[in-house]
């Protein structure tokens, strides 16, 4: 059997309206790239990155979801197996901010047990076009008792911090959950690998149905 190249696997999912910059945040973090062009995500996709946190090698499996309404039934099915949920809005788009409450309700409905959540106001580089002040994002997050950060995938602001802080909390949470103080992530890792295979094949058939127009 091949030796695992990481100590823990964490699954993080990004959700939010279409065009808020979910794919761009992931691209910036994993590949250090940014594209001005907009290519809408179809269904779901993921990228991985391995980082070192407090001498633990963490493999982050970062899931990108389509913001478009027609893919929602597919993307909801991914919430349950995630350990952290990143709710993204665009600071230049008031609608995307108002919809965060709707996304939070969806998480409550589809994610199963309580998950680690963070609200992210992306595109903070676009000050001239800003529609949502920092304080509004902060207030919404406080009201829901979750963390908040503003980012820019374009200017690479707070992207590394977002994933590093989430990873630290997940690591800490996992360690705290272990009754004997040992690493309890082994089974979790197996489950996560299993869920990728089954969800991906489910998604492929759902996307094919959507493409072919059938319901």
**Residue 146 per-residue DSSP state:** -
Angle between helices 22-31 and 159-177 (to 10 degrees): 90
| 24 or 167: CB nearest ligand GTP | 24
Q: How many CB atoms are closer than 10 A to CB 159? A: 24
CA-wise closest residue to 63 among 37, 84, 83, 45? 45
| 106 or 152: CB nearest ligand GTP | 152
165 interacts with ligand GTP by CB under 6 A: no
Give min distance, CB of 137 to ligand GTP, in A. Answer: 14
- The DSSP H or E segment spanning 26 is helix 22-31
Binding mask 6-45 for ligand GTP (x = CB under 6 A): ------------xxxxxxx----------xxxx-xx----
Q: How many angstroms separate the CA atoms of 116 and 165, rounded? A: 11
122 interacts with ligand GTP by CB under 6 A: yes
User: Under rule CB under 6 A, how many of the chain's residues touch ligand GTP?
Assistant: 23
56 interacts with ligand GTP by CB under 6 A: no
| Helix, strand, or coil (residue 128) | helix
| 24 or 58: CB nearest ligand GTP | 24
Q: Which is it for the CA torsion 48, 50, 107, 157, positive or negative?
A: negative
Instruction: Find the binding residues for ligand GTP in span 69-98 (CB under 6 A).
Output: none
- Residues lying near ligand GTP in the complex (CB under 6 A): 18-24, 35-38, 40-41, 66-68, 122-123, 125-126, 152-154
């Amino acid at each position: 059997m091949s030796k695992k190249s990481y100590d823990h696997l964490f699954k993080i999912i990004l959700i939010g309206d279409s065009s808020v910059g979910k794919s761009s945040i992931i691209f910036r973090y994993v590949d250090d790239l940014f594209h001005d062009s907009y290519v809408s995500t179809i269904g779901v996709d993921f990228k991985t990155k391995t980082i070192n946190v407090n001498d633990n090698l963490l493999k982050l499996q970062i899931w990108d979801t389509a913001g478009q309404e027609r893919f929602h039934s597919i993307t909801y099915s991914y919430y349950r197996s995630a350990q952290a949920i990143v709710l993204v809005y665009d600071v230049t788009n008031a609608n995307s901010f108002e919809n965060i409450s709707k996304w939070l309700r969806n998480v409550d409905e589809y994610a199963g047990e309580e998950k680690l959540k963070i609200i992210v106001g992306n595109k903070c580089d676009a000050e001239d076009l800003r529609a949502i002040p920092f304080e509004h994002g902060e207030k919404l997050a406080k009201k829901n008792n979750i963390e908040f950060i503003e980012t820019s995938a374009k200017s690479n602001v707070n992207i590394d911090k977002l994933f590093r802080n989430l990873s630290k909390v997940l690591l800490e949470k996992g360690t705290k959950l272990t009754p004997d103080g040992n690493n309890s992530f082994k089974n979790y890792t197996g489950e996560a690998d299993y869920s990728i295979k089954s969800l991906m094949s489910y998604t492929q058939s759902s996307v094919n149905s959507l493409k072919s127009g059938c319901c």
